[in-house]
Amino acid sequence: MRLFRRRERPGQVRRADSADVTHLTTFAREWTRRRVADARAAHELANRLGIPSYDAAVVGYPQRMRDWNARKNARPEA
């Protein structure tokens, strides 16, 4: 029996790695969500890529994004 082992807690946030950043660079071609180190890192990446960034926790999701998601989910998978 191990009394003092470290356990990951449910919902524990992991650090972003280069694979996450690489994946985010394809954002301009496909909508996706990935982890980033923090909000500042997300905004800096968006600025480098020349795309707008929004903090959904602050501003909410734009109506055009909700409409796009609805259209995408209504289409049958090919």
Q: What is the pLDDT of residues 18-69, one digit of tens each?
A: 888 888 887 666 776 788 899 999 999 999 988 888 888 888 888 998 898 8
Tokens of 44: 């800096």
The reply to whether 67 falls in a domain is yes
The reply to whether 33 falls in a domain is yes
Domains of the chain: total: 1
DSSP label at residue 8? P
What was the pLDDT predicted at 4?
Answer: 64
pTM over 0.85? The answer is no
Q: For residue 40, what are the domain limits?
A: 18-74
What was the pLDDT predicted at 9?
Answer: 65
Please state the rounded mean pLDDT for residues 3-9: 63
Give residues with Cβ within 8 angstroms of 68, minimum separation 6: 31
Examine the pLDDT at 77 and tell me if it is beyond 70: no
The reply to whether 39 falls in a domain is yes
**CB burial of residue 24 (10 Å; 0-12, 13-18, 19+):** buried
The reply to whether 31 falls in a domain is yes
What was the pLDDT predicted at 47?
Answer: 94
